[in-house]
Amino acid sequence: MKIILLDKIQKLGEIGDVVDVSSGYARNFLIPKKKAMFASDENLKYVESKKAELAAASADE
């Protein structure tokens, strides 16, 4: 399953990266914890426009 990362995840990628992970990992962990979203055209445009804000929010945590 292709997802877009909304947070930096060790050994997986940086904010805004499109990665392929198992469906269970995406649906049961990453997406419910708001660490990723499905990789659709609409979501890709959203992440590109909000990339700087996401990076700043991630740095604050």
Map out the domains of the chain as residue ranges: 2-60
Instruction: Tell me the DSSP string of 6-54.
Output: SS-BTTTB-TT-EEE--HHHIIIIITTTTSEEE--HHHHHHHHHHHHHH
Using CA atoms, how far apart are residues 7 and 55, in angstroms rounded to an integer?
8
**pLDDT exceeds cutoff 80 at 2:** yes
Domain spanning 2-60, CATH architecture: 3-Layer(aba) Sandwich (3.40)
pTM of structure: 0.82
Task: For the chain, give percent helix, strand, coil, nearest 5.
Answer: 45, 20, 35
Residue 61's pLDDT is what? 66
Percent of the chain predicted with pLDDT > 90? 66
